[in-house]
Every structure is written in structure tokens, then in C-alpha cells.
Structure 1
Amino acid sequence: MNTPAATPILNISTYRFVTLADPEALRAQLQGNAAANQLKGTILLAEEGINLFLAGPAEGVRAFVDYLRADPCFADLVPKESWSATTPFQRLKVKVKREIIRMNHPSIRPQAGRAPSVSPAVLARWLVQGHDDAGRPVVTLDTRNAFEIDHGTFTGAIDWRIGKFSEFPDAVQAHRNQLDGKTIVSFCTGGIRCEKAAIYLQDIGLDHVYQLDGGILKYFEDTDGAPGWQGGCFVFDEREALGAQLTPVR
């Protein structure tokens, strides 16, 4: 990975499902602090929590994260980090939405309790073994959109070619037979989609469901993408896609 001296812009991504009483008031506060710290990117707020992708000078990013963590709702945030030579966003956007990741299933409420997760290290071991620790076959389920998957994914991952995340529940219903009797690991870029996906899978009665903790970016951070990953990981900024070393690939 490049050193911060060569790539002075710190990029962070993080999310937290937590009930926010007044997202609009919080929007104004975060807009002011992020702007004062010279940050660009996107912060999404909803009653169900926060989702953000930001970049800027390292001292500004860390000051903003400290500001967030001063709120008990966000005290345990652990952003995923990468570095770049320039800021990959044109402006700062702070928005209040109905959902921080749209699924259109109000009954799926991760703020009320997470689905079980599996760490990158454990998933890597399962992929090498070809099964989980109980001997069940493991399938990786890509919950991202088709154009993201085209940049890279796990070898053999299930890809239903969805165009947006709100199509995921219907895709599950159409292809449920691919999942029965297996250990399912849902995954996405940073964890937010696969967290909702895993809860949905549990709610429809599937057993042995996990989310990949921290998503693909955490898998890169902890394992350098090995074993099992092929290609890059699409990111929603001007870098387009990151390789296993968390640097841009084209």
C-alpha cells in the first residue's frame, strides 16, 4: 500500500444502524463540522442510522471522526481507511433519506439486532477448506449491483445480476433453491447491504446465514484479498475501483 506521504488524502467509509431521533438536526451539525474540516464526499442519514464516504486531509478526517464518536450513538464507529493522491469527490453532500440503504422492507431493522457475522480471516479459512467448520458447503452471495460485480468478486460467488439493492428480496425468492442446506455468507463493499441481506435471509427461514464483517474492503485489509477474490472492488467515487492493496485499479 502507498504511504501517506505519497498519497496524503485519507478516505474513510463507515456506517452504523442505530435509531436517530432527529436526522435533520444531525444533518446540519455534521454538514458544518465536515465542511470546517475540509471534507468532501457523502453522508446519508435516516431514522435507521448513518452511512458515509468521506475524504480530505488526514487531520480533518480524524477530527471529524472524533466529533462523531463523541455522540454515544456513534462511539464505536471504526471507519475503513484508504489513501489517495487527490480527493476523489467533487463536493460535500449531507442528506436525510428514508433508508441509508434502500431495501423497501420496513420490517428489516438492523438497529434492533445484527445478523451473525463472519470475520475475513474465518471466511478465508472456509474458502480454503471448501466448507465451514461444521462441514457444510459454503456459498458467498454477492448483494451488490451487476455493474459493481463486473469489476470483481469472489470466485464462484452467487450473482443474480440485480440492478439495485431493492431487487434483492425478489431475487432471493426466485433463486432460494441455490441457498437451501448451505452456509451462506452475504457480502458487499463495506458491510451495509450484506447486513440487511443477512437479516432478510434469516427472516424467510434460511439457517446458517452470516454477513462478511466489514465487507470486501475489510477483507482486503485483513487478507490482501487471498484466497478467493478476483479483480477489483467498485467504489462510489472517482477512483472507480480498488485492488486488494486498497489502491486504485483501472
Structure 2
Amino acid sequence: MSIVNISCYKFVTLAGREALKADLSARCLKLGLKGTILLAPEGINVFLAGTRAAIDAIVAVLRADPRLADLEPKLSLSAEAPFKRMRVRLKKEIITMKMPVVRPEEGRAPAVAAATLKRWLDQGCDDEGRPVVMLDTRNDYEVAAGGFENAVDYGIGVFSEFPAELRRHRADYAGKTVVSFCTGGIRCEKAAIHMQEIGVERVYQLEGGILKYFEEVGGAHYRGGCFVFDAREAVGADLQPLGGRVHG
């Protein structure tokens, strides 16, 4: 398990993306890294794999940019790099929702830590006695790999379908505490903001997503694996590959 895999994101206004793309492309190639970095006006999304030294070096480069100084990558290990190549891409959004009014940089929805969520699920309610609904914001093929017990999912094919489905089901969440979740936190961050905007009263996002939950509390109340967008296909609660085919 000599390969370190990292994922992280940040919603922050990114100017000078062309120059940033060129700089990061050159540095990643020199370090022998593989993976994808997405750059958009709303922020950055990073999936990289390489040796410990190379990963430490690129994280230092990213954090040297004042806009990205607080990046906190999630780590896992694998025997081989789960990516075929290195790409730095310019995108309109780092996660496509097609709702420009949703701007996480301007303020997040409340987040719940993994340990707190586990306690809520253990006791069957939140700390104020409200039922807790786990809302899966991922796409259908990701949900098929595994998820939280009794979670709600809308069977969507792409994340941009989520807002319309949510509006149709908004009344289902009256009097309940809703925790949105996704792989690493990026989609549930946008989803939780949108839920607040349409009047869902008590909304949280799972801090760091499923991967952070696995890292901090293991697989309690979770069944199956977590789909990841690389050759590992899915990882278990121990963050080790479950096996699968290469995508993309």
C-alpha cells in the first residue's frame, strides 16, 4: 500500500484559472502524480494519487495559495495508483448543479460531525428527539455500491436533477432533522444550502461525506461500500479497495 490517494475541495472564488491550470499541470507531472484537478469560478476539486513525498509536495503547493491554505485532504492507501493519467481541467462548476444562486462560499449550511451523526443514529433521533432522515445526494450508480441504512435517495442520474426532486418531496421532511450526505462532502454542501433556501426547516450536511465518516467512526449504520471515481470503483469502511473495473 505505497500509494497515497487524496481528495479535497474548496468553494472559493478562483481568478487566474488558466495560469493556475498551467502551473498545477507542470508540478503534478514533475511529481509523477496521477488524477484530476477541477478548477472553476466557484472553487477547486482535487483527486490525486502518488507517493507520500509527491502528495506532501503538491499539498504544500496548494496550501501556499492563500485561497487554499486551509485545504484538508482525505487520505486512503492503495497498492497502485487508481488513475490512468494526470489532468487539470477548467469547468463551469466543480460539481454541476446548474443553480448559480447556490454559492457555498457565501455561507454553508450547518454541518454534523461523524461522531455526532453516529450517536444520533445509535439512539434513533437527534439530541432534541427529532427523527433523523439520511438523504443521499449521489447518483443512482453510486447509491448501488452502498449507503446508510434506510436512507432516502431519488434515483437520479446526475446531480442537476436533485433540486427538482427535492422540491417535489419537501413536505416529507416536516418535523424531522435531515442530514444530506455524499462521497466527500461537495454535493451535500450544495444540497443542504438549497434545502434551506426552499424552506426545509432543520438541515445538516455530513461533514466530509461518507469517506470522512468511514475514517472517523467506521461503517456503523452503513451497508456496502462507497463508490469512488477511480479504478478502485468502491472502498469499504476501512477505506481499502473492494475491487472493480477502471472507469474513464
TM-score bracket for this pair, using the shorter chain length = over 0.9
CA contact (8 A) 2:6 2:75 kept: yes
Identity, in percent, stands at 60
Q: Give the SS at the match of 1:90.
A: coil
Q: Look up the equivalent residue of 1:164 and give its one-letter code.
A: V
Aligned partner of 1:149 in structure 2 is: 143
Structure 1, gaps ≥5 residues long? 1-6
User: Is it true that 1:236 corresponds to 2:207 in the alignment?
Assistant: no
Aligned partner of 2:246 in structure 1 is: none
CA contact (8 A) 1:22 1:47 kept: no
Select the residue among 205, 208, 222 that pairs with 1:211.
205
The alignment's TM-score, normalised by the length of structure 1, stands at: 0.96
Find the aligned partners of 1:231 and 1:182 in 2 and give their Cα distance.
Answer: 26
Find the aligned partners of 1:196 and 1:22 in 2 and give their Cα distance.
Answer: 24
Residue range with higher mean Cα deviation, 27-36 or 230-239? 27-36
User: Is it true that 1:178 corresponds to 2:179 in the alignment?
Assistant: no
CA contact (8 A) 1:220 1:245 kept: yes
Q: Look up the equivalent residue of 2:241 and give its one-letter code.
A: P
The alignment's TM-score, normalised by the length of structure 2, stands at: 0.97
Q: Look up the equivalent residue of 1:110 and give its one-letter code.
A: P
Find the aligned partners of 1:124 and 1:27 in 2 and give their Cα distance.
Answer: 39
Residues 68-125 of structure 1: CA distance to partner in whole angstroms, max 9, x if unpaired? Answer: 0011111111100000000110000100100000000000000111111000000000
Find the aligned partners of 2:226 and 2:169 in 1 and give their Cα distance.
Answer: 25
CA RMSD of aligned residues (A): 0.7
Aligned partner of 1:54 in structure 2 is: 48
Structure 2, gaps ≥5 residues long? 244-248
Find the aligned partners of 1:18 and 1:34 in 2 and give their Cα distance.
Answer: 21
Q: CA deviation at 1:32?
A: 1.1
Find the aligned partners of 2:168 and 2:241 in 1 and give their Cα distance.
Answer: 35
Q: Give the SS at the match of 1:181.
A: coil
Find the aligned partners of 2:226 and 2:79 in 1 and give their Cα distance.
Answer: 19
Aligned partner of 1:12 in structure 2 is: 6
After TM superposition, the structure 1 = structure 2 runs for residues 15-94 of structure 1, keeping only pairs within 5 Å, are 15-94=9-88
Q: Look up the equivalent residue of 1:222 and give its one-letter code.
A: E
Select the residue among 134, 137, 145 that pairs with 2:131.
137
Find the aligned partners of 2:34 and 2:173 in 1 and give their Cα distance.
Answer: 40
Q: Look up the equivalent residue of 2:16 and give its one-letter code.
A: D
Find the aligned partners of 1:35 and 1:183 in 2 and give their Cα distance.
Answer: 45
CA contact (8 A) 2:148 2:223 kept: yes
Q: Look up the equivalent residue of 1:190 and give its one-letter code.
A: G
